Amino acid sequence: MKLTRCLLISAILAFAAGSALQAADYPTRPVTIIVPFAAGGSADVYARLLAPQLQADLGQPFIVDDRPGAGSIIGSEAAATSAPDGYTLLLISNTQTVNETLFAKKPFKLMTDFAPVAPINTSDLVLVVNPKLKISSLAELIALAKKQPGDLTFASSGPGTPYHMAGELFKQMAHIDVLHVPYKGSSSARIDVIGGQVDMMFDATTTMLGLIQGGKVKALATTGSSRSAVLPDVPTMAEAGVPGYSSVIWLGVMAPVKTPPDIINKLNAEITRIAGKPEIRAAWAKDGALPLSMDPEQFRQFLNDDIKKWAEVVRISGAKVDQ
């Protein structure tokens, strides 16, 4: 018995030492960050801002690989089936937590097939309309939608994305009927709102700010609990006529399940440190983004809470995805 116990303890210590050594050496080759969304959206933008920072700190290339499609499922599945060695990471947003309920069948489960690494940041969304609609306030938009049920349209970057669910929540809380027009990415959705092919869109302030300032679209309301620092003259949804409304977009990083904990902790520390740099915080703040800081277990709880929140919205709204 003593011999068996000694051998077991030795094996555990050897494994722990090997894991620590692996994390100390990590990375020894390029790391891929899969972004399961189209180029030009906030996930792609921040992945490309984060990658060179990680490369500078860890000494190996961090390569952004955009794999959009099926509401983020194509890219997420590719990450889920990758080797759990820290060399493939997944950029996530609330899209993935929504999809846990929105899609009845998926080739993976977020909290089973992935390990939380770290959050990156969060930002408000902003509801914009094409100026041709001649709407100057949220109250006017709601009144028009009630007068013409089913006639107005809102664009999104695809089913289950924060832009889609913000619209579903708006419909539910304002008691209106507007038609969802899903796109394969936020860039194409944005283009059609600017062109007037679609009436409105919820979009990240980080990507819509310049278009608002340039007069390409009209901002009616932001979606946070308080006014956006970059759009201080635009009321919140709650102020503008939908009390209790709140819907933001957040970004984070996950890895395939069974990725060594020491590697996950190392990545968490690096991402947290990068997001906390004064120059990074200042640059993000100009676009309306705030860094998020959590350890892997706190991030796990955050994700579980977000899944529950959006499950209720999906249930009440009746939102469905054809598969």
What pLDDT score does 161 carry?
A: 87
Confidence band for 286, pLDDT divided at 50, 70 and 90: confident
The mean pLDDT value for 20-46 works out to: 89
Whether pLDDT at 16 is above 60: no
| CA 77 centroid distance within chain | 16
pLDDT tens-digit readout, 160-217? 888 999 999 999 999 999 999 999 888 999 999 999 999 999 998 988 999 999 999 9
Average pLDDT for the chain = 91
Whether pLDDT at 18 is above 80: no
More reliable by pLDDT, 71 or 180: 180
What pLDDT score does 2 carry?
A: 58
What pLDDT score does 71 carry?
A: 84
Domains located in the chain, CATH noted: 22-123+249-317 (3.40.190.150), 124-240 (3.40.190.10)
Alpha-carbon gap, residue 50 to 62, rounded angstroms? 9
More reliable by pLDDT, 89 or 8: 89
What pLDDT score does 12 carry?
A: 56
pLDDT tens-digit readout, 103-149? 888 999 999 999 999 999 999 999 999 999 999 999 999 999 999 99
Name all contacts of 136-140 with Cβ < 8 Å and 24+ positions apart.
136/218, 137/220, 137/240, 138/220, 138/221, 138/235, 138/237, 138/240, 138/241, 138/242, 139/240, 139/241
Alpha-carbon gap, residue 208 to 126, rounded angstroms? 8
What pLDDT score does 287 carry?
A: 84
